[in-house]
């Protein structure tokens, strides 16, 4: 069998082949240090390490099983549960409040007797799932997956914020039809994203869900940091594949970003979404999806989407056809609502 031969010089500092006078003529396996690449990985790891609380999927499941019945169903406080189950909870009481505030557990702030009376913090708590969740889901993995499955359409998801800490939108962009839907969320947390996909799955069924969402591409926002809860249903059945763009690389899901320009015409950046209902958001998206696009041979995203999935599915998402002469892509569409 083949045995890789290692240069003995690699067993002592600097442990790489850089500067070795025999490097060009050496036929052994080389270890090269690239400063720029090493620094890039260092910065990514440093940024990731500062993002918040690390919590694994197993820990999430354990906390849900323990806390939800006692707090949400029996009205107990976090403190009461904590002091009687301290050995079963792997975080401090303060950290437990932060995890619940971040929206990752079934228990929400509304379930806490006193938490809802406190003044909302300007800067919400942040958390992150164990970084291992990114393994096999990075952008390089996405490109390899698409290369092996070229006929699988991609759905891009993102968040559109109004004012910091206020209501926001989850946008879902179907790249083939350029059809986009948007869901109003009270807070920009992971559980609200999971709830939306679970609702779609439960209403439309497994077959239609998998047809709509074969592959999902998103960014590294904390609201998308629980991929397993989106990829698998509650019984552990796979229903989609989820991948992540590189950090600070919105161009990697450029179709979604371009379509956000229509939303910003109607709801400019910095304008709060709090006054609007889901019905208002559906009206906005109906106008956007009824707007003809040159790339669709002057057809509308709604027309193409209905051909692919049916008008009934479009109606389920709250999207209706708007007459071409009545389309309004300005702030006046929602200004009086």
Q: Which two tokens stand for residue 189?
A: 């947390």
Confidence of residue 330 (pLDDT cuts 50, 70, 90): very high
Q: Is the pLDDT of residue 73 over 60?
A: yes
Q: Which two tokens stand for residue 129?
A: 């799932």
State pLDDT tens for residues 269-285.
888 999 999 999 999 99
CA nearest 322: which of 261, 255, 262? 262
CA dist 57 → 40, 78, 223 (Å): 28, 21, 15
Share of the chain above pLDDT 90, in %: 50
Residue 214 confidence (pLDDT): 97
- Taking the C-alpha atoms of residue 241 and residue 232, their distance in angstroms, rounded to an integer, is 9
Mean of the per-residue pLDDT values for the chain?
Answer: 86
194 vs 113, higher pLDDT? 194
Residue 336 confidence (pLDDT): 60
Q: Which of 13-22, 163-172, 229-238, 299-308 has the lowest mean pLDDT?
A: 13-22
Which residues touch 19 (CB under 8 Å, ≥6 apart)?
A: none
What is the rounded average pLDDT of the residues 156-178? 93
Residue 138 confidence (pLDDT): 92
Residue 116 confidence (pLDDT): 46
Length of the chain: 337
Q: pTM of the prediction? A: 0.67
- Where exactly are the structural domains of the chain? 8-49, 53-129, 136-335
CATH (residue range 136-335):
3.30.420.10
| Cβ–Cβ under 8 Å, residues 232 and 299 | no
Residue 152 confidence (pLDDT): 94
CA nearest 157: which of 180, 124, 141? 180
Confidence of residue 1 (pLDDT cuts 50, 70, 90): very low
State pLDDT tens for residues 179-233.
999 999 998 888 899 999 999 999 999 999 999 999 999 998 888 888 999 999 9
Q: Is the pLDDT of residue 97 over 80?
A: yes
220-237 burial: b if 16+ Cβ within 10 Å, else e: bebbbbbbebbbebeeee
DSSP states of 299-329: B-HHHHHHHHH-HHHHHHTT-----GGG---
State pLDDT tens for residues 28-63.
888 888 888 888 887 777 665 555 567 777 888 888
Q: Is the pLDDT of residue 114 over 70?
A: no
| Cβ–Cβ under 8 Å, residues 270 and 162 | yes
Confidence of residue 129 (pLDDT cuts 50, 70, 90): low
């Amino acid at each position: 069998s083949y045995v890789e031969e290692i240069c003995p010089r690699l067993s002592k500092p600097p442990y790489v082949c850089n500067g070795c006078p025999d490097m060009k003529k050496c036929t052994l396996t080389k270890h090269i240090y690239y400063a720029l690449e090493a620094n890039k990985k260092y910065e990514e790891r440093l940024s990731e390490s500062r993002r918040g609380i690390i919590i694994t999927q197993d820990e999430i499941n354990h906390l849900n099983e323990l806390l939800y019945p006692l707090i949400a169903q029996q009205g107990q406080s976090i403190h009461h549960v904590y002091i009687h189950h301290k050995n079963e909870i792997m975080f401090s009481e303060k950290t437990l409040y932060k995890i619940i505030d971040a929206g990752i557990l079934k228990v929400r702030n509304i379930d806490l007797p006193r938490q809802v009376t406190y003044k909302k913090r300007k800067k919400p708590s942040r958390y992150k799932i164990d970084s291992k969740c990114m393994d096999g889901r990075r952008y390089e993995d996405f490109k390899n997956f698409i290369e092996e499955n070229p006929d699988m359409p991609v759905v891009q998801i993102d968040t559109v914020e109004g004012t910091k800490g206020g209501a926001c939108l989850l946008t879902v962009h179907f790249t083939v039809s350029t059809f986009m839907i948007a869901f109003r969320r009270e807070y920009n947390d992971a559980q609200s994203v999971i709830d939306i996909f679970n609702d779609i799955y439960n209403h439309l069924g497994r077959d239609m869900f998998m047809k709509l969402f074969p592959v999902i591409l998103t960014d590294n926002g904390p609201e998308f940091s629980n991929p397993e809860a989106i990829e698998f249903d509650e019984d552990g059945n796979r229903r989609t594949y989820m991948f992540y763009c590189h950090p600070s690389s919105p161009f990697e899901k450029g179709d979604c970003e371009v379509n956000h320009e229509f939303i910003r015409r109607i709801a400019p950046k910095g304008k709060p979404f709090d006054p609007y209902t889901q019905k208002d958001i559906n009206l906005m998206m109906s106008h956007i999806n009824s707007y003809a696009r040159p790339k669709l041979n002057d057809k509308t995203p709604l027309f193409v989407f209905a051909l692919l999935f049916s008008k009934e599915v479009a109606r389920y998402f709250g999207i209706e056809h708007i007459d071409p002469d009545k389309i309004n892509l300005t702030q006046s569409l929602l200004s009086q609502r």
